[in-house]
Structure 1
Amino acid sequence: MGESMTWLQAIVLGAVQGLTEFLPVSSSAHLRIVSGVFFGDDAGASFTAVTQLGTEAAVLIYFARDIARIIMAWFRGLLDKRERNLDYRIGWYVIIATIPIGVIGFLLKDQIRTGARNLWLISAMLIIFALVIAAAEYFGSKQRPLEQLTTRDGLAMGFAQCLALIPGVSRSGATSSAGLFLGLTREAAVRFSFLLAIPAVTASGLFSLPDAFAPAGEGLNASGAQLIVATVVAFGLGYASIAWLLRFVAQHSMYWFVGYRIVLGLAMMGLLAGGVVAAT
C-alpha cells in the first residue's frame, strides 16, 4: 500500500496537470517527474487520468459553442444530406479518429499503469518526440486551414493520439505534429487536437475513477477530497493555458517546446544516472 498524498502534493500536482495538459510537453510526464523528484513517489496513472477530467472540462467550456455547433450539425447531416457541412464532417472525424486509442488503450491498460511510467522511458520519450515535433515544424507546409480537413487527416491524427499512451510523448504534441506533417496550419492542427482529445480523455478519466477513489497499489494515494480539489485546480489553470496556447501558436513556432523537452529529458537522465532519483 502506498503513502497517503498530502494536500500540498495534491494542489501542486493539480496545478502541474492544468499548466501542462495542452502544451506539447506531456502532462503525464510532468506529473510523474514532479511527484518522483519532489515527493519521492509516483502519483499514479489513475490520479493523472482523473485530474485530466478537470482540463477536459476546461476544453468543453472554452469550445462550448464550437462543440454544440458540431453536434447539432452532425445530427442535422444524418437526417439531411444538404446539411453536411464542415462541422458535420468534423463530428465524424472526431468519432472515427477516437476508435484507435479506445481499442489500444483498453488492450494495453495494464502496461500503461506500470512499466510505461519508468522515468528512463519518460526521459527518452521527451527527447525523441521533441525531434518528431521539430521535424513536423520544419517539413510541414502549414498551408491548409481547418476547412480543408479530410477523413485521412482525422485518421492519421487519431492513430498519432495513440502514442500519447506512452508518458513523455504528449497527446497534443503527437496529434498536432501529425497535423503539421499533413500540411495543416498550426492553429488548425491544435484546434482539432483539442476536439479530438475530448472523448478519449473523458472516457479514460471516468474509467479510472474507481481505482483513483479506492487506491490499493503503490505510489501516492489521494483521498476523494484531494482528487476533487486537484481536478478543480487543473480546470482553472487548464482553461487559462488553452487561451494562451492558441495565441502562442498563431505567432510562434513549436521549436520553443522542442528545446524545453530536450533540456528536461537530459536533466532527468542526469538525475537518474547519478542516483538522485529512482526510475520506478
Structure 2
Amino acid sequence: MEVHVILLALIQGFTEFLPISSSAHLILPSVLLGWPDQGIAFDVAVHLGSLLAVLYYFRQEVVSLTHAWAGSLQGRDATSESRLAWCIILATIPACIIGALFGSFIKDFLRSGWVIAIATIVFGLLLWWADKRAQHLKSEYQTGWRGALLLGCAQAVALIPGTSRSGITLTAGLMLGLTRSAAARFSFLMSIPIILLAGSHQAVGLLSNPVAISWSAMSLGILVSFLSALACIHLFLALLERIGVLPFVLYRLGLGAVLIWMMAGQ
C-alpha cells in the first residue's frame, strides 16, 4: 500500500504543474500494474499537497496580491497587483461554470483511455504551435481582462482528461504574447483557487458519503505530493526559458503513442 501511495502522490505532484497531463499518467498504474483506484479521500490528500506547495512557493506573491485585492475592495487606486488578482479571479470562473454544468458528462463519457491518449497528443501539438508563434514579450501583469478570460476558458478545456491544465493554460498564455516564464507563473497562480475549489468539492462529497479513511496513507500522500510539487515548480520555472516547451511536447507525443498502443492491445 505504501508503494502505491508514494508512487501515485509523486505522479500527482510532478504532473499537476508540468504541461504533460496528470490524468494521462494516473491511468498508467491501473492499466500497467492493475492497481485499484485509491478513492476520493486520497484524491483530496494529494491535491491538498499540491495546493500547499504552490502556496508556499508563491507565498510572497499571494500575500501581495491578496493585500492589493483587499485594498481595491476598499476603494484604493488600482495597482498592477490588484489588477492581476482580479484577473486570476476572472480566470477561475469559466472552469467553475463548465464544471458545474458538464462535470457529470465529462466524468461518465470522457474519462476513457482513448480520450486521454488523443488529448495528450493533440494539445501537445497545440502547445508546440503556440510556442513557435509566440512573441514572448509580456509579463503576467500585462494579461488584461480579455487575456484572463481566454486563460480561464483554456482552463475550462482542461476538464477534458488528457488536456493538462498546466499545458493548456501555458498554451493560451503564449498565444497572448506572454513570455514562457510569465505564462507559467500565471498558470501556477490561477491553479490556487481552482485546486482549492475542486478539493473543497471533493471534500464535501467525502463528508456526504463517509468512507473508511487511512489517515497514514492520507498523511503520506499529502507529504509526498507537497514535496514533489514543490520540486516540480522550482525546476520548471528554472528551466523553462532555457529548454523551451519542445521536450514536454515530445514527451506528450510519446506518452500518447504508448497509451494508444496499450488501448489497442486490450
The answer, yes or no, to whether TM exceeds 0.5 is yes
SS of the residue 1:250 aligns to: helix
Structural mapping, 1:1-280, within 5 Å: 6-43=1-38, 47-48=42-43, 50-82=45-77, 84-211=78-205, 223-275=214-266
- The amino acid of 1:206's aligned partner reads S
The 1:255/1:80 distance shift into structure 2, 3 A limit, reads same
SS of the residue 2:4 aligns to: helix
- How far residue 223 of structure 1 moved from its aligned partner, in angstroms, is 3.4
Q: Which runs of 5+ in 2 are unaligned?
A: none
- TM (norm. structure 2) is 0.92
- How far residue 57 of structure 1 moved from its aligned partner, in angstroms, is 0.8
- Number of residue equivalences: 265
- How far residue 231 of structure 1 moved from its aligned partner, in angstroms, is 2.1
- The amino acid of 1:17's aligned partner reads Q
SS of the residue 2:169 aligns to: helix
State which drifts further: 48-57 or 257-266. 48-57
- How far residue 212 of structure 1 moved from its aligned partner, in angstroms, is 5.2
Whole-Å separation in 2 of the counterparts to 1:181 and 1:156: 10
Q: Which runs of 5+ in 1 are unaligned?
A: 1-5, 276-280
- The amino acid of 1:230's aligned partner reads G
- How far residue 39 of structure 1 moved from its aligned partner, in angstroms, is 2.9
State which drifts further: 114-123 or 261-270. 114-123
User: How big is each residue's C-alpha offset from its partner over 1:66-95, in whole Å with a ceiling of 9 and x where there is no partner?
Assistant: 00000101111232443x111000110011
Whole-Å separation in 2 of the counterparts to 1:39 and 1:268: 15
- The amino acid of 1:63's aligned partner reads F
Judge conservation of contact 1:126–1:169 (CA < 8 Å) in 2. Answer: yes
Whole-Å separation in 2 of the counterparts to 1:158 and 1:125: 18
- TM (norm. structure 1) is 0.88
State which drifts further: 50-59 or 182-191. 50-59
Percent identity of the aligned residues?
A: 36
Judge conservation of contact 1:145–1:188 (CA < 8 Å) in 2. Answer: yes
